[in-house]
């Protein structure tokens, strides 16, 4: 090798051969200056692991980082960092006002270049937008009773902000020892079948033909369809083809399809009572025609009812069929009594209603006594009316506007003819007058919407097929049939006019606490809007105050409109005012 050649030449004292170069020296640093990682790497490499020596660049970077860290921990380095941070903060404090001043100067220069036309266009645009918001808010409040902006903020923004209220879950049931206050907190918004509902073909349809307005809502008709399926169908209908057809007929939405199905059922069975009921309700265009169909239904219904009575104990299916046939028979007899009442045969109608109540005493939930009360008032048989009230105006029975206002009418009848507000204010009220006023206050507390219809402060519409007790729908149904009875008694409406508003002084917070009844339910408005037609203005109790956002948008619209008018009339002065 080259090393051997050089050594021999040196020992011999001669020169090395041409082209020979000494090998590069190998410099090994002392152990104390070598990085521990380098020593470990070498040791591991000599052990036969196959790894090469470490990268020299990584070792030098590590050494520089260690030196920097040690120098940064010294006191003079910390002082230098604090001085640098202070200088940066001082620069920011001195520089921000300069930038704000420059920005303000730019804004001032921009405003100085604007013309009066720009300010006029700006104020007109803002007035127009705020006016649109105001109109939409007002429409939403009139239609739904709430502010749209408030509803959106409560429903969507409050959960994002974190202000959602966690209301405790409502109890499933009340215990026997729970106090009356907790019971009053439960809103009662059950929808009831109107006991005096009109005939669709003979009355509702005729109204629509004359006025072009639909008197019934889809929600109301859907409830009636559910009632018909509950009353007039049972599990054994599949055994009889005619009842199977009628089961489908009650589910049809199209009136013509229902009538066509009724005729198909009669072709299969000429004694199908429910088919005659459907034709009487929807195809008959007069009360006389409806009465003819109901008489045929009565004949068929009585025959089927007698058959069901003989075999109702054989199986649960036969018992269900007996209940269905009983419902059909009671419905037909009641509608026949109503036909007689509408055709002027009032005594006949009263007899039919009394017989029906005596024959089926357990069906008091159908409120047949309200039909009887109206017919007796038409006969002016006030003693009989008082006898019916004595039976049904009981604390354990559910109340209605017909019960409460008929009781008030009878007590007002005893004093209304001689009642005078001026005389009563001088001498005071007598015992009979106090009783009459208390009865009126009781009736008004139960349903505060009725007096406006009886006093003709609001226009009436045809009553719906379903009503909400204590709601506007019940008030419409009661006043539609009983207004004539109040007018017939001299001075009754005058006494009502003088005393009905005094009820509200006894119940300043009707939604929280009542006087003689439960607190007024807060859900009546929504249900009444579903039951009553859209062209009817729903009565709301208690009256709601206008939301804040309606006042705000109205003020904003008025203010921006005033600015637009001033800018148009005095452009130079408004420009000077804005620049100032």
pLDDT tens per residue, range 488-525: 999 899 999 988 888 888 887 777 788 888 888 888 88
Q: What is the dihedral of CA 458, 459, 462, 468, to 10 degrees?
A: -10
Q: Tell me the average pLDDT across 194-219.
A: 92
- The mean-pLDDT minimum among 148-152, 354-358, 551-555 falls in 148-152
501 to 141, 442, 452, 508: CA distances (angstroms): 26, 12, 11, 12
Phi, psi of 25 (to 5 degrees): -70, 145
CA–CA gap between residue 200 and residue 500 (Å, rounded): 35
- For the chain, give every residue range classified as CATH 1.25.40: 195-391
Which range is least confidently modeled, 229-233, 283-287, 383-387?
229-233
187-202 per-position pLDDT tens digit? 457 899 999 999 999 9
Strands (E), 421-556: 466-468
Can you give the pTM of this predicted structure? 0.65
pLDDT of residue 569: 75
Closest CA relative to residue 22, chosen from 36, 42, 2:
2
| pLDDT, mean of residues 203-211 | 92
Report the distance separating Cα 265 and Cα 227, nearest Å.
Answer: 20
Average pLDDT over residues 284-291: 94
What would the CATH number be for the domain defined by 195-391? 1.25.40
Calculate the CA 299 to chain-centre distance. 46
Q: What is the mean pLDDT of the chain?
A: 79
């Amino acid at each position: 090798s080259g090393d051997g050649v050089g050594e021999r030449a040196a020992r011999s004292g001669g020169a090395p051969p041409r082209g020979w170069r000494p090998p590069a020296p190998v410099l090994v640093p002392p152990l104390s200056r070598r990085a521990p990682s380098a020593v470990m790497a070498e040791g591991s490499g000599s052990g036969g692991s196959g790894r090469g020596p470490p990268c020299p660049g990584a070792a030098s970077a590590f050494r520089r980082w260690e030196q920097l860290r040690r120098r940064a921990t010294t006191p003079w380095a910390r002082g230098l960092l604090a001085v640098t941070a202070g200088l940066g903060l001082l620069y920011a404090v001195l520089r921000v006002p300069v930038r704000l001043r420059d920005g303000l100067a730019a804004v001032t220069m921009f405003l100085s270049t604007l013309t009066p036309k720009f300010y006029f266009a700006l104020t007109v645009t803002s007035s127009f937008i705020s006016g649109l918001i105001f109109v939409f808010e007002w429409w939403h409040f009139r239609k739904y009773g709430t502010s749209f902006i408030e509803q959106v903020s409560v429903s969507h923004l409050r959960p994002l902000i974190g202000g959602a209220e966690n209301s405790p879950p409502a109890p499933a049931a009340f215990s026997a020892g729970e106090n009356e206050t907790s019971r009053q907190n439960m809103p009662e918004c059950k929808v009831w079948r109107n006991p005096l509902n009109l005939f669709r073909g003979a009355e509702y349809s005729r109204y629509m033909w004359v006025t072009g307005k639909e008197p019934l809502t889809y929600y109301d008709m859907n409830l009636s369809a559910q009632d018909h399926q509950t009353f007039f169908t049972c599990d054994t209908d599949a055994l009889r083809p005619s009842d199977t057809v009628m089961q489908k007929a009650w589910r049809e939405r199209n009136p013509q399809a229902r009538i066509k199905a009724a005729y198909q059922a009669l072709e299969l069975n000429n004694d199908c009572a429910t088919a005659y009921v459907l034709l009487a309700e929807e195809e008959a265009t007069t009360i006389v025609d409806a009465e003819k169909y109901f008489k045929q239904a009565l004949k068929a219904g009585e025959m089927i009812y007698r058959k069901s009575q003989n075999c109702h104990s054989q199986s649960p299916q036969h018992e269900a069929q007996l209940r269905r046939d009983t419902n059909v028979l009671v419905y037909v007899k009641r509608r026949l009594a109503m036909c007689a009442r509408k055709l002027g045969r009032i005594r006949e109608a009263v007899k039919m209603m009394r017989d029906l109540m005596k024959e089926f005493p357990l069906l008091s939930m159908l409120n047949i006594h309200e039909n009887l009360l109206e017919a007796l008032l038409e006969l002016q048989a006030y003693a009989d009316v008082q006898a019916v009230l004595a039976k049904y105006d009981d604390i354990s029975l559910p109340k209605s506007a017909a019960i409460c206002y008929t009781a008030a009418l009878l007590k007002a009848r005893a004093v209304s003819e001689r009642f005078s507000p001026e005389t009563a204010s001088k001498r005071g009220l007598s015992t009979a007058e106090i009783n009459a006023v208390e009865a009126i206050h009781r009736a008004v507390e139960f349903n505060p919407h009725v007096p406006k219809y009886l006093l003709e402060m609001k226009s009436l519409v045809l009553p719906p097929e379903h009503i909400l007790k204590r709601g506007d729908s019940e008030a419409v149904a009661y006043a539609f049939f009983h207004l004539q009875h109040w007018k017939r008694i001299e001075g009754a409406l005058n006494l009502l006019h003088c005393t009905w508003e005094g009820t509200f002084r006894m119940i300043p917070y009707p939604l929280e606490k009542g006087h003689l009844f439960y607190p007024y339910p807060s859900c009546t408005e929504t249900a009444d809007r579903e039951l009553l037609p859209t062209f009817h203005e729903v009565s709301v109790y208690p009256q709601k105050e206008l939301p804040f956002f309606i006042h705000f948008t109205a003020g904003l619209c008025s203010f921006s409109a005033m600015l637009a008018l001033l800018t148009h009339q005095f452009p130079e002065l408004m420009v000077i005012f804005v620049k100032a």
